[in-house]
Structure 1
Amino acid sequence: MTSDRVLQVAVSRGVATLTLDSPANRNALSRAMRGQLRAALEEALADDAVRVVVLDHTGRVFCSGMDLSEAAGGSSQDQGVREFPELLQLLWSSPKPVVAAVRGPARAGGVGLLAACDAVVAADSATFAFSEVRLGLVPAVISAVVLPRMVPHVAHRLMLTGQVFDAAVASAGGLVDVVVPDADVDGEVRAQLVHLTAGAPAALAETKRLLRARQGALAFDELLDLSARFFAGEEGQEGIAAFREKRPARWVPAAD
């Protein structure tokens, strides 16, 4: 494995397991991660032997969202901001079921990744947050896959506050499908795979197409411009700088 490899890919018995493997940056959605994940997904979807895709991770964190070290000083035309919707669409519209195994924290774009999957199995110690507003950003692109999943008033509050919430809240709000003790994640994922591979491939694909159509068309094009504008804007760049410098952003009220 080369030093720039940040994704593990394994195919066995009809299951393609794509494992985010960049623990040094909390499995952030770097250029390398986005490119390798998209390529692996495309390959798995083109492989007739693959029936189901599993999205897993190494390290303590599932995915911390976009790699902010690459976003500093960016413009609204940066390819990095603009290619993420294509990755979410690939997951969302995949004719093969996709299962996410979430063993640790998911933030911002990382929440979008799991929300685009068909089934989400989470450890009960996992935590989640729509942290965009605290960085001067807008959860625009991920809203296309998050909002069809979640109870509206729960998503509303959590996207506005940016607060961290646990797996129980994620489950009650519709973001997560199954919550199990940390040690039972593998077993529950295997159980989901048994159910999913019991369906006929063409019937599964058509059923998923039907279900996605009923959830409404995703306005990725419109949402993309909004997201990119805030990444490159004054607030976004200040929020990213504050995050990297481990200080409050300038809009955060001073403590009494």
Structure 2
Amino acid sequence: MDDELVHLEVAGGTATITLDSPRNRNALSAQLRRELSAHLDAVLVDDAVRVVVLTHTGPVFCSGMDLRESRGAGAGDQGVNEFPRILATLWYADKPVIARLAGPARAGGVGLVSACDIAIAAREATFAFTEVRIGVVPAVISSTVLPRLLPRAAHELMLTGETFDADRAAAVGLVNVAVDADALDAEVARYVDMLARGGPRALAATKALLRRDRGEHLQQDLEAMLELSAEFFASEEGQEGMTAFAEKRAPSWVPGG
């Protein structure tokens, strides 16, 4: 039996999913994709999980697709059909997902980062869309990357394949914050704590709100948002939150509340 390449640990309402294939720089091999997908499915239906953290062992967060598996394969035989599903699972997850990067991300690894709600990187981490330099296109990851990146930066970085640092990644919207390596875990813990203070249903609905296409119909959108707002103010979760605020205590969903 193959050694596990992706580990899952659940503690205190936080699910930590760890990429653990440092021998190939956490490349998205078939086994790693399969295990990552399975662990994501498990935590998203686990009511005990409030926040998900995606992290890694070794010096590299994720180097992208495992090119050894892709060489010599035709367009219909790449075996990567589950990767779009992984990105969609992260993007549409009802629970907030944090990417924790202590090291570089490349190509598909950048797709993982951009699919998460919040990304926190050590300043030593670097990024690059290396696809064009090997004659391929950053097609699949563009679905999650382009909504994050400033348009000018997207053109520059995807067309040139240039490597850029974590501070630049934060400046163009790819990550939320770049911190010194020795502050990385504390910053991740700070975000986990803040996210755990949100109502579970409210967080899920807010994520859906952030994803929606507003289109050109502002009035209809406002009416729909009014209905959603009223629903949550009247909900059990909303009433508990307002009561807890008035009573100067933590709401029931906060650990220890």
TM over 0.5: yes
Match of 1:7 in 2: 6
Provide the C-alpha distance between the structure 2 equivalents of 1:147 and 1:211, rounded to a whole number of angstroms: 15
Q: CA deviation at 1:75?
A: 1.5
Match of 2:224 in 1: none
Match of 2:175 in 1: 176
Aligned partners of 1:122 and 1:180 also within 8 Å:
yes
Aligned partners of 1:23 and 1:58 also within 8 Å:
yes
Aligned partners of 1:4 and 1:32 also within 8 Å:
no
Provide the C-alpha distance between the structure 2 equivalents of 1:215 and 1:149, rounded to a whole number of angstroms: 17
Q: Give the partner amino acid of 1:69.
A: R
Matched, 1:27 2:57: no
Q: Give the partner amino acid of 2:143.
A: A
Provide the C-alpha distance between the structure 1 equivalents of 2:51 and 2:75, rounded to a whole number of angstroms: 35
1:215–1:99 distance in 2 versus 1, CA, 3 Å? farther
Q: CA deviation at 1:113?
A: 0.3
Provide the C-alpha distance between the structure 2 equivalents of 1:191 and 1:84, rounded to a whole number of angstroms: 30
1:27–1:198 distance in 2 versus 1, CA, 3 Å? same
Aligned length: 215
Match of 1:106 in 2: 105
* Equivalence map 1:20-169=2 (5 Å): 20-78=19-77, 80-169=79-168
TM-score by length of 1: 0.82
1:60-100: CA deviations, max 9, x gaps? 00000000000011111125222211110000000000000
Match of 1:225 in 2: none
Match of 1:240 in 2: none
SS class of match (1:81): coil
Between the two structures, name the one with larger relative contact order (CA 8 Å, sep ≥ 6).
1
* Equivalence map 1:213-224=2 (5 Å): 213-214=212-213
Aligned partners of 1:148 and 1:215 also within 8 Å:
no
Match of 2:231 in 1: none
1:153–1:62 distance in 2 versus 1, CA, 3 Å? same
1:2-58: CA deviations, max 9, x gaps? 643101110001100000000000000000100000000000001011001000000
SS class of match (1:179): strand
TM-score by length of 2: 0.82
Runs of 5+ in structure 1 lacking a partner?
A: 217-256
Larger Rg: 2
Q: CA deviation at 1:215?
A: 8.0
Q: Give the partner amino acid of 2:51.
A: V
1:179-214: CA deviations, max 9, x gaps? 110111100000000110000000000000110114
Q: Give the partner amino acid of 1:101.
A: R
1:152-192: CA deviations, max 9, x gaps? 10011000000100011101100010111011110000000
Q: CA RMSD in A?
A: 1.2
